[in-house]
A and B are shown apart, each in its own frame.
Chain A
Amino acid sequence: MALEVVADVARPRARTRWRTAAILAAAVGLGAGAGILLFNTSGPPKDRDITIYAKQYSFEPPIIRANRGDRLHLKLVSLDVVHGFYLEGYDVDAEILPQQKNALVRHPSQGDQRVEQEEITVVATQTGKFRYRCSHTCGALHPFMSGELIVAPNHSLHGGIGASLGLLVGFALVVRRREPTAAA
């Protein structure tokens, strides 16, 4: 350590900076990787029936937790006015009419053609958090009416947490190493 410090003084600044950046990047990468790998678990895929009730300005259940590979059979019910159900990442958009069993479903990537369907089946192939948003203006707080489908394993979250911790630790290490020279 002491030897290194002496060597440090002689080194040009740019090099120290690059090394710092490299250490930090490595710490962030390691943290993210560790987070993803450690929590790379999800239960066995299942078939699940879920009824989602829409009312001004939220969905019930507000959060659906699923595992990768789950087949979700969604029934949509409106408890008050006309609502929408736009599921991000899964190319599903539906219109939910009050007092109707069937929803008017479309796939946004395929245009505006809507089909009446009692049930929407979604296979949870993509992991992470996907919001379902009301897509039919239903009142004042309509733009904020949303729910969450969280498909495990949630790599973004675990990677993000790992990266933050990696950054924290990496930064502390970097300043601890560098400081004796900078103080000189």
Chain B
Amino acid sequence: MTPGSQPARPLEAPEPAPAARAPVKPAKPIRDWPGVDLLDRYPFVRKVLKWRPLQFWLIWPNVLFFAAFLYAGLFGSPVGSRNVMIVFVWIFWWFLLIALLVPFLSRAWCTVCPLPVFGEWLQRLRFVGVRSGEGPKKQRTRMFGLNLEWPRALQNIWLQNLGFLCLASFSALLVTRPIVSTFVLGGMIVLAVALSLVFRQRAFCMYLCPVSGFLGLYSMTSTLAVRVKDPTLCRSHKEKECLLGCESGYGCPWFQYVGGMTRNNYCGMCFECVKTCPYDNVTVFLRPFCSDRLLKGYDEAFKAFIMLVLALVYSVTLLGPWGTVKDWANISEVGNWKGFGLYVLAVFGLCLGVFPALHLAMTWLGRRLANEPKARLGDSFVRYAYVWVPLGLFAWIAFSVPLMAVNGAYILSTLSDPLGHGWDLFRTGSVQWHPLLPEWIGLVQLPLLLAGLYVSLSSSWRIGRELYADSHKALLSLAPTWAFAATMTVALMCFFVG
């Protein structure tokens, strides 16, 4: 047992991988991807990452911006396209996040996220420094607050899934009404602070933050990863500063043990472990796209379903031409509760019922075709859900392209007139709305979707080969799921260009 006896799930301990239970295949090595050790190659970067004030200096400008956005939401124009809150958060930030940060920099957003930081400062009673001493749960840093353990039954991302679906149901309000955004985002800060006083470390980020769920899921694809260079060194090193903290830094706020970490999902990239490890064993790898392929539970599989289905749903409600659906979703203005109820029911039903059932049917069929009675259906259900990870990510990027191209002009105009009060700070206040090269959007979306399908196929193929020793059986077991993935790709194409 590692010191600090962490919760089973978030601690990426060598729990039996599903592959081990399914027909024969040796356990995977800790890294099955070729990576470039960035900190080894650029020692300067290690210095920067070890510099304690780094995160503080990255976060506080973000906190200021965020405060300004919250203010704009309250006192700026109620018209979304004239308010910096809507334009910068839901167009600019969203695009940056999904198209650049997540695929290339993993959870770098969490490095600079202003939502949980007040809670974290409060727990530490420091902005930058470390209060070393006896802490809760064998930590070697003192922590303010009750420091309770998060309930075991909730140590998964189900709450994030549900919270995200609830927000998604109100998305037509959230992304168009500045005041709604202020209350939701402000509410998240309040919640994060409250939780930080009751529960240990970043319980909010791990288990509640609705953004966290998809950041974690899609960061599996990312080309950047924090890992140790030599896991055997970790095994023999008993002090485990990365887990428990020391004078130079805190134990992982995300309950992760970097020595055994094989996935990006729950690494918030705070780089505390880079600071604490006395051997400089922790580093940042540059690696091929989609290197993490192991989904570990139904909660994660459902996250993948939810994200893909929502990309489709929003393609209908927000980007589609149908007024009735928009009226249903636009509850505060139209007040059609029956329609809204139907809409919410459809969102929940599709994400939690219809789509998972189809996925189950496909994996079941695949298992039948492969004719391998020893293969457990649950394993293939969860593991093959990875098909929807790259496809979902690319679907979201494709979805966001028109959002950015069509509404990008608002970024310029709100830059000069953030509150919609008629200011002209940078002489861009009067930039007229005009879509940027709208005829080309489809020609960008199509290759993106094709790329998503390709990555889905190729990464799930590797998963299939892990589950089935016989390649022919692997192919058969995957065939229905692949057909399903291609169908979804085509469905997205129909919405985007058809």
Contacts and interface: CB of A to CB of B under 8 A. Distances in A.
Partners in one complex: yes
Interface of A: 24, 28, 55, 57-60, 62-63, 86, 88-89, 108, 126, 128-131, 133, 135, 137, 139-148, 150, 154, 156-157, 159-161, 163-165, 167-168, 171-172, 175-176, 179-180, 182-183
B181 to A, nearest CB: 12
B453 interface: yes
B443 A156 contact: yes
Greatest chain A CB density within 10 A among B321, B324, B453, B458 is at: B321
Interface in B433-491: 433-435, 438-439, 442-443, 446, 449-450, 453-454, 457-458, 461, 471-472, 475, 479, 482-483, 486, 489-490
Given A133-B406, A156-B446, A160-B446, A140 B80 contact: yes
Contacts, number: 139
Greatest chain B CB density within 10 A among A130, A144, A145, A157 is at: A144
A171 B457 contact: yes
Contacts of A167: 450, 453-454, 457, 486
B318 interface: yes
Given A163-B446, A175-B461, A57 B498 contact: no
A58 B330 CA distance: 12
A183 to B, nearest CB: 5
Contacts of B493: 157, 160-161, 164
A88 B435 contact: yes
Contact of A164 (B80, B438, B453): B453
Given A140-B79, A179-B471, 17 more contacts: A58-B321, A59-B323, A62-B320, A62-B321, A89-B439, A130-B438, A139-B333, A140-B177, A157-B493, A157-B494, A160-B498, A168-B457, A168-B482, A172-B479, A172-B482, A179-B472, A183-B471
Contact of A171 (B172, B326, B454, B490): B454
Interface in B79-123: 79-82
Contacts of B1: none
Contacts of A148: 321
A129 B482 contact: no
Contacts of A171: 454, 457-458, 461, 482
A55 B461 contact: no
Interface in B350-397: none
A86 to B, nearest CB: 7
A163 B330 CA distance: 36
A172 B471 CA distance: 11
Contacts of B333: 139-141
A143 B176 contact: yes
Contacts of B326: 57-58, 141, 144-145
15 contacts: A62-B320, A140-B80, A140-B177, A140-B333, A141-B172, A143-B406, A144-B176, A147-B321, A163-B450, A164-B490, A165-B486, A167-B457, A171-B461, A172-B479, A179-B472
A160 B434 contact: no
Contacts of A141: 172, 176, 326, 330, 333
Contacts of B80: 140, 142-143
B497 A154 contact: yes
Contacts of A88: 435, 438-439
Nearest to B479: A172
B442 A128 contact: yes
Contact of A62 (B323, B450, B457): B323
Contacts of A159: 446
Interface in B182-215: none
B442 A156 contact: yes
Nearest to B443: A156
A59 B322 CA distance: 8
Contacts of B461: 171, 175
Interface of B: 78-82, 172, 176-177, 318-324, 326-327, 330, 333, 406-407, 410, 433-435, 438-439, 442-443, 446, 449-450, 453-454, 457-458, 461, 471-472, 475, 479, 482-483, 486, 489-490, 493-494, 497-498
Given A165-B486, A167-B453, A175-B471, A89 B438 contact: yes
A180 B475 CA distance: 12
Nearest to B470: A183
A55 B497 CA distance: 24
Nearest to A169: B486
A89 B443 CA distance: 13
Contact of A128 (B483, B489, B497): B497
Contacts of A137: 79, 81-82, 433
Contact of B490 (A131, A146, A161): A161
A39 B368 CA distance: 36
A55 B323 contact: yes
Given A164-B450, A164-B453, A175-B471, A86 B435 contact: yes
B230 to A, nearest CB: 27
- Shortest Cβ-Cβ A-B pairs, 10 listed: A58-B323, A62-B321, A179-B471, A88-B438, A157-B498, A156-B497, A160-B493, A168-B486, A140-B176, A89-B439
B489 A164 contact: yes
Nearest to A84: B433
A62 B450 CA distance: 28
Contacts of B324: 58
Nearest to B324: A58
Nearest to B176: A140
B498 A154 contact: yes
Contacts of A160: 446, 449-450, 490, 493, 497-498
Contacts of A150: 498
A171 B163 CA distance: 37
Given A88-B439, A143-B81, A172-B475, A129 B323 contact: no
Contacts of B172: 141
Contact of B439 (A24, A130, A140, A147): A130
A58 B322 contact: yes
A156 B80 CA distance: 32
Given A89-B439, A140-B333, A144-B326, A164 B471 contact: no
Contacts of B453: 164, 167-168
